[in-house]
Chain A
């Protein structure tokens, strides 16, 4: 009789983790933090540094990036045309699409470099549920701080959102906001929270900073996932490809709903509910893990 290998992640777990990933990647509440805390809370034998779990996360992240790319496809087409125009003309000038494109490049490079160089070390340092819970609480305070700044941010100006972003964000601002994404390498801190907060800090409205955050998210999440795709297709993916596919579909569904919801939500609303959630959930799980 041939013994069947034990499933590393069950399909039920894949569904729950996939649904969670899609929401938490785009809501400013830390997807990595939740992927550390939730399995531990539910008593699952799944840990952030398990190679099969990293492979699973690669698949769900790729799904999220593809959803973002599809959602903003017209914007990306415009931005890419702008980048092409600027390279052809060897100047950016008043071309807001070109400027936004290069702002996204400038914002993505530092996060990409920091991610490439620090990811492994940080993943080993802060892999426990208790540290993720603590940083989730700090993420809540970071969001609240950004919310306080939002009140002082200028009212939305006339014109298209992308023109406002291109007009207001300087190269240095883009570098800073982009680098802020690297904080999400620490489980508990949110990448989108950091970029939205950074956007508010440089004077964008809440709506524009959310849009800038989602545009910045696409290349960095996609590149990180593509870089690790060989692990999913190689031997690390053995026994996890089925659940990874199911998890990715679930992740894609909730990511789509999340980005649709958030783009409307931030037209008129604030970061406060997410801040409260992070502080309460972080404090409660810290207490739970400590007892």
Chain B
């Protein structure tokens, strides 16, 4: 498998993971976040919306990278 293909697969996996993380940040208060998530705080009902936006932006970025990397290769003259 070419390097390009691996980049596309890795970018897609990263994109899905980051968007899932974003949804968790949007949906769950700080007390319900997994302990290894930045912003986890026992007893806090604060939603870390900014962390969610950051993860969402990175996720979209990963998909954009995958989109370009999986495009047709231009044949140099």
Chain A residues with Cβ below 8 Å from B51 are: 116-117
CB distance from A119 to the nearest CB of B (A): 8
- Closest-CB distance, A233 to chain B (whole angstroms): 16
> Assuming A109-B57, A113-B58, A116-B54, is B70 touching A93 (CB within 8 A)?
no
Inter-chain contact A90/B71, CB cutoff 8 Å? yes
Interface hub of B54, B61, B70, B74 (most chain A Cβ within 10 A): B54
**Cα–Cα distance between A112 and B56 once the two chains are bound (Å):** 12
Give CA–CA (A93, B57) in the complex, Å. 24
| B50 adjacent to A93 (CB under 8 Å) | no
B interface, over-half SS: helix
Whole-angstrom distance between the Cβ of A213 and the nearest chain B Cβ: 21
19 further interface pairs, Cβ-Cβ under 8 Å (given A90-B71, A91-B74, A113-B54): A89-B71, A90-B67, A90-B70, A90-B72, A91-B68, A92-B68, A93-B74, A109-B57, A109-B58, A109-B61, A112-B57, A113-B58, A116-B50, A116-B53, A116-B54, A117-B50, A117-B51, A117-B54, A227-B53
B54 adjacent to A91 (CB under 8 Å): no
Contact of A87 with B by CB under 8 A: yes
**Which residues of chain B come closer than 8 Å to A113, judged between CB atoms?**
54, 57-58
Residues of A80-111 at the interface with B, using a CB-CB cut-off of 8 Å, are: 86-87, 89-93, 109
Total interface residues on A, using CB and 8 Å?
13
Interface set of B (CB-CB < 8 Å, partner A): 50-51, 53-54, 57-58, 61, 67-68, 70-72, 74
Contact status B71-A91, CB under 8 Å: yes
Task: List residues of A whose CB falls within 8 A of some B CB.
Answer: 86-87, 89-93, 109, 112-113, 116-117, 227
Q: How far is the CA of A91 from the CA of B74 in the complex (A)?
A: 9
Report how far A109 CA is from B53 CA in the complex, Å.
Answer: 11
List 5 A-B pairs, Cβ < 8 Å. A90-B72, A91-B71, A91-B72, A93-B74, A113-B54
- Name the one of B50, B54, B57, B68 contacting A90, with C-beta atoms under 8 angstroms: B68
Q: How far is the CA of A236 from the CA of B71 in the complex (A)?
A: 47
CB neighbours (8 Å) of B74 from chain A are: 91, 93
Q: Quick one: which of B57, B58, B67, B70 has the most chain A CB within 10 A?
A: B57
Q: How many Å from the CB of A107 to the closest CB on chain B?
A: 13
A90 to B67, CA, bound (A): 7
Q: In the complex, A74→B53 CA distance in Å?
A: 29
**Which residues on A sit within 8 Å (CB–CB) of B72?**
90-91
Q: How far is the CB of B47 from chain A (nearest CB, A)?
A: 13
With a cutoff of 8 Å between Cβ atoms, the chain B residues found around residue A93 in the complex are 74
Distance in angstroms between the alpha carbons of A89 and B53 in the assembled complex: 28
Q: Cβ of A112: which chain B residues have Cβ within 8 Å of it?
A: 54, 57
Nearest B residue to A93, CB-CB: B74
